[in-house]
Amino acid sequence: TQLLEQSPQFLSIQEGENLTVYCNSSSVFSSLQWYRQEPGEGPVLLVTVVTGGEVKKLKRLTFQFGDARKDSSLHITAAQPGDTGLYLCAGVERAGNMLTFGGGTRLMVKP
Amino acid sequence: DAGITQSPRHKVTETGTPVTLRCHQTENHRYMYWYRQDPGHGLRLIHYSYGVKDTDKGEVSDGYSVSRSKTEDFLLTLESATSSQTSVYFCAISESRRLQGAWTEAFFGQGTRLTVV
């Protein structure tokens, strides 16, 4: 069992649809990060959420950190084919040192 | 782009042989990490370093060792490669442990594809 559980693992949708990806844990995190990875490349940071309940927006992407700082969600509005990729959440436990990742959500947006 | 170079980018090796992967950074970041990426598992932490000669195990450290003798270099060694170690290996760097309560961004190399036959 991974420290950070992501769901769903795979998501295939049509252009224009909305979607939500979840990142859950039983541990408390000082912050959570979301990364996006494209084939053949390393992950690239999208956002860091720090405060419980925090909401951050990045164009059509909305990120939320749970009130208890144990979970986070990523919502994409009106998905575009360019949103296709692997989305990863990552975090460090409150008293920890290791940056650990969830299993990822592979998103495919069809035109 | 952050200055991270992984070498080699691709390697095929035989079971039982030793293999060393190198990660080199030009950013002077304190933290360096080695991850492996396999289908369905996201990124799993192998080992990490929080300073020169300061390293610690991650969640999948068995069969791997690391060394960091200089700030800029972090080496990952497979003492005796096995087929289960066939994977894509990523190195990442991070500037500091916490900045205003948050972890700073981790920058990744382009990965090393290792095949053990």
Q: Which pLDDT value is given to residue B2?
A: 67
Write the pLDDT tens digit of every residue in A61-100: 999 999 999 999 999 999 999 999 999 999 887 777 778 8
CB contact under 8 A, B43 and A41: no
Within 8 A by CB and 6+ apart from A77, the residues are: A18, A60, A61, A62
Q: Which pLDDT value is given to residue A1?
A: 60
**Ranges of chain B whose pLDDT falls below 70:** 1-2, 96-102
Chain A residues bordering chain B (beta-carbon distance below 8 Å): 2-3, 6, 9, 30-31, 33, 35, 40-45, 48, 50-51, 88, 90-92, 97-104
CB contact under 8 A, A98 and B92: no
Strand A61-65 and strand A71-76: pairing?
antiparallel
CB contact under 8 A, B101 and A30: yes
Write the pLDDT tens digit of every residue in A40-58: 899 999 999 988 999 999 9
Q: Which pLDDT value is given to residue B41?
A: 75
